[in-house]
Chains A and B, each alone.
Chain A
Amino acid sequence: MKKYFLTFIAITLVTFAWVSCTDFPVDEDGLLITTRGQCYVGNFELLGVDFQTVRTKAAVIDTTAQTINVEVFFGTDLKNVYPQFSLVTDAKLDPKIVGKVDFSDLANPKVYTVISGNRLVKKPYTVYVTVQAKP
């Protein structure tokens, strides 16, 4: 009986030791670093303070030129909008979006950098916002 017990304990310890030594690299944000090298924005959304879209139509994303062009409704309060990026799997965004963002300085468009899953590729995307013109 005692022999079985000791064998069980030994197997458990070895299993734990093996698991703890397996390498799962994480970055400074605690996110898993994977082998994926893809690095692009799949979709872009812009929400008002009421969490409704302020886009007049779908944003145009150019993954070659690394630009996002979005037109918003007349009267959109661009000082208080929430951007939402859909990124390729495992990628992350810099700077992080933690709340409302001021997009009102149209002359100086904001730049967000997409970082690939393997953290080796970085692509800056420029977000160009235009406001629906009043006739």
Chain B
Amino acid sequence: MQLKHYSLTLLTILVVFFTACQDEEYALPTLEGGLHNDCIKRTLGPNVVGLNLEFAYAMALPQAEGKIISAQVEASIAGAPATYMENRSFSTSASGADVPVTVGSASVNTGTKTEVVFSKDTCAATLRYYYIIPEEARGKTVKFTFSAKASNGQTVSYEMGPYSIAKMDMKLDLVLSDNNNSYISIADMAVYNAASAATNAANIDLVYLYRVIPGITFTHALVSPASSPDYLPGITLPSGVNKSTKIWKVWALRDQHLARLQFGVFIDDIDFEKLNFTGAPDYAINLRAEAGTWVETADGKYRAYIYCNSINNTAKTMTVSIKRYPMQ
């Protein structure tokens, strides 16, 4: 028994030594021939109409085999007119800055295709593609086929997607002003003054006001027109403005699309779908910068997130950005 154990141990040690003494000689890697390509998506978060989807498409072949003559992207749904592909390839300088090198003529959009024809004799390039999400893509999925051609006749392609395009809308930097542009319409994604609010009474969902009341903290507020007069001090509502909007107050939900700050937080369609407004109040007072409110319109047609970008106590203003999701 003991002898067997010794033999086994000795054998193990020998195997380890033998393996450790294997001489691994370095060999230069062999260059793989032919045209190759790769692609990454650079944008994060939900894909909202009007924003872009950014990709970096890389293509290369050995110098001896030829040069790249064109790069093309075909989207399943044509991008908005501003869609383009960079005709410059970027490298990174020692200080980390992007250094562009023009490799071809400006991209041309033809239907669903975007193409760059190379004018420089180059065998490797990485081009960025900016797909501006069109209205037609709302609520659908979109996918892309990147392809490149080389002077030796070779072609390569790379599929990306499908990517879901959000149903929600977005409006940035609406300036609310106490006693002036203080009426918010979620349906219109707009702010109105009292006169305009009277003509759009059916669409007014919230009233903005700023009050300094001794003994209590009121300051900046978003209040439903049908709320208690306690929360609308000094407000005479235009005729017909009487909706009851549900509001949940939120703190520090800094959606990156709305806030444009460093926080990697995004509100997506599913967040609106999962909200529960049962028992929600119809007012939110004492709002601060970087606060927000989830809102549901009286008819239940829309849900929205109103983010407070900034407040100004002197000017009695509040700048907000809105994401809105249609529930029906």
Q: Which residues of A contact B (CB under 8 A)?
A: 1, 48-52, 73-75, 77, 79-80, 132-135
Q: A50-B250, A75-B216 are in contact. List 20 more A-B contacts (CB 8 A).
A: A1-B2, A49-B249, A49-B250, A50-B249, A50-B251, A51-B251, A52-B251, A74-B217, A74-B285, A75-B218, A75-B230, A75-B283, A75-B286, A80-B281, A132-B217, A133-B215, A134-B213, A135-B214, A135-B215, A135-B216
Residue B279 is within 8 A (CB to CB) of chain A in the complex: yes
**With A48-B249, A50-B249 in contact, is A73–B217 under 8 Å at CB?**
yes
A-B contact count (CB 8 A): 47
Complex contact A135–B213 (CB within 8 A): yes
Say yes or no: B216 contacts A73, CB within 8 Å. yes
Does B39 lie at the interface of the complex (its beta carbon under 8 Å from any beta carbon of A)?
no
**Which chain B residues lie closer than 8 Å to A135 at the CB level?**
213-216
A135 to B214, CA, bound (A): 7
Task: Assess whether B215 is in contact with A73, with CB atoms less than 8 Å apart.
Answer: no
B64 at the binding interface (Cβ < 8 Å):
no
Specify the chain A residue showing the minimal Cβ separation from B1: A1
Find chain B residues with CB under 8 A from A134 CB: 213, 215-216, 230
Residue B55 interfacial (CB < 8 Å): no
Contact B279 A79 (CB under 8 A): yes
* B51 beta carbon closer than 8 Å to chain A: no
Interface residues on B, range: 20 to 34
Residues of A within 8 A of B231 (CB): 75
Closest chain A residue to B251, Cβ basis: A50
Indicate whether B291 reaches chain A with its CB closer than 8 angstroms: yes
Say which residue of B216, B250, B280 sits within 8 Å of A132 (CB atoms).
B216
Question: Chain B residues near A133 (CB, 8 Å)?
Answer: 215-216
Q: List 18 A-B contacts (CB under 8 A).
A: A1-B1, A49-B249, A50-B249, A52-B251, A74-B216, A74-B218, A75-B218, A75-B231, A75-B285, A75-B286, A79-B281, A132-B215, A132-B216, A132-B217, A133-B215, A134-B216, A134-B230, A135-B215
- C-alpha spacing A80/B281, complex, angstroms: 9
Alpha-carbon distance A133/B217, docked complex (angstroms): 11
A21 to B250, CA, bound (A): 51
Nearest residue, chain B, Cβ from A50: B251
A-side contacts of B281, CB under 8 Å = 77, 79-80
Residues in B with CB closer than 8 Å to A77 are: 249, 281
Q: How far is the CA of A49 from the CA of B281 in the complex (A)?
A: 11
- Encode B274-308 as 1/0 by CB contact (under 8 A) with A: 00000111010110000100000000000000000
- Give the CA-CA distance A77 to B217 in the complex, in Å: 14
